[in-house]
A and B are shown apart, each in its own frame.
Chain A
Amino acid sequence: MSVNILIVDDSKTVRAVIEKTLQLSGIQIGNIFHAGNGKEALEILNNNWIDLVLTDINMPVMNGIELINEMNKNEIFKTIPIAIVSTEGSQTRVEELKTKGVKAYLRKPFTPESLRNLIIEILGVTGNE
């Protein structure tokens, strides 16, 4: 089974690094979608099937927490696993996000292995390296 992944981050550099990591991960990836903020992410979610959302927290227009709140209002979107990839280091915030249904948290800077392991853990897929 291939998985469609939505990457939400205002940095093109981070989106490119995550995409490259996913492509080299050995995980069967379907489509990779990019959004620069939460609003763009919601537009993509409205028009595409997404299996996993990887989102930053601090972004212009609509931040990651506002995106999660919006997704939780929608019966379909709230079933999509969300992982945070952020420079945010507050344990208080991480705990708060877990109460909103966030499955995992990865702090920047991250290693390719940690991102791959996170996806495998959340989706229960296997890497075929």
Chain B
Amino acid sequence: MNEMDKKLITKVLTDVAKEFAFMFADQILEEMETVPPYIRAEMSFSGYYSGKVSMVCPEELCESMMNNVLGIDEEETDIEVEPKDALCEFLNIFCGNFLTALAGVEPIFELNPPFAEDISAEEWEKLKQDANFLELSLDDYPIFISVEYKQE
């Protein structure tokens, strides 16, 4: 991942996290402790650029995000929304805003619906060595982001 993409990803993620989830994005200075399960969300897009966006984080972050977005108290238990859905929507909003930041407001993009799945602790550990992923923090949780794209 080149430095320009890293800067753009960081800026868009910071803005979307603040406006959508009331969360603060930051650089990671030292390794953060996490507990499984871990969730990977992904979506693809096509148009002026085609590619895919992925985010991976502990499920705890998805839960915290969902609680923030919906204004849920910790005691509330009758919630129909799944934490994974909150991450998928965060990814969806990030993707749309990233593409505008990258390509401007003229091109039309087709965004495919995001999906989320559990990943193992081993896969999570491997991400730390993966140069395609940028690691940032959202509040007290780490999140890995990857954007792959090519001009059509």
Interface residues, chain A, with chain B CB atoms under 8 Å away: 10-14, 16-17, 20, 58-60, 86-93, 107-109, 111
Please state if B107 and A11 are interface contacts (CB–CB under 8 Å): no
* Chain B contacts to A: CB under 8 angstroms: 16, 19-20, 66, 69-71, 80-82, 85-86, 88-89, 92-93, 95-97, 99-100, 105-113
Does B88 lie within 8 Å of A92, measured CB to CB? no
> Separation in Å of the B138 CB from the closest CB of chain A?
14
B112 surroundings in chain A (CB, below 8 A): 58
Number of A-B contacts (CB under 8 A): 70
A16 touches B80 (CB 8 A): yes
Q: Is the CB of B81 within 8 A of A16?
A: yes
Q: Determine whether the beta carbon of B108 is less than 8 Å from that of A93.
A: yes
* Distance A107 CA – B99 CA, assembled complex (angstroms): 13
B70 touches which of A16, A90, A93, A108 (Cβ 8 Å): A16
B80: contacting residue among A11, A12, A86, A108, CB under 8 A: A12
Q: Considering only CB atoms, which chain A residue lies closest to B82 in the complex?
A: A12
Inter-chain contacts of B82 with A (CB < 8 A): 12
Known: A13-B69, A58-B112. A92 touches B107 (CB 8 A): yes
Q: Give A60 to B115 CA distance when docked, in angstroms.
A: 11
Contact of B105 among A16, A17, A86, A91 (CB under 8 A): A91
Chain A residues near B111 (CB, 8 Å)? 58, 87-88
Known: A12-B81, A89-B96, A109-B20. 12 other contacts (CB 8 A): A13-B70, A17-B70, A58-B110, A59-B113, A86-B96, A87-B92, A90-B105, A90-B107, A108-B20, A108-B93, A108-B96, A109-B16
14 pairs from A and B in contact (CB 8 Å cutoff)? A11-B85, A13-B88, A16-B70, A16-B81, A20-B71, A86-B96, A87-B93, A87-B96, A89-B99, A89-B100, A90-B105, A108-B92, A108-B96, A109-B20
Cβ 8 A contact of A89, one of B16, B85, B88, B105: B105
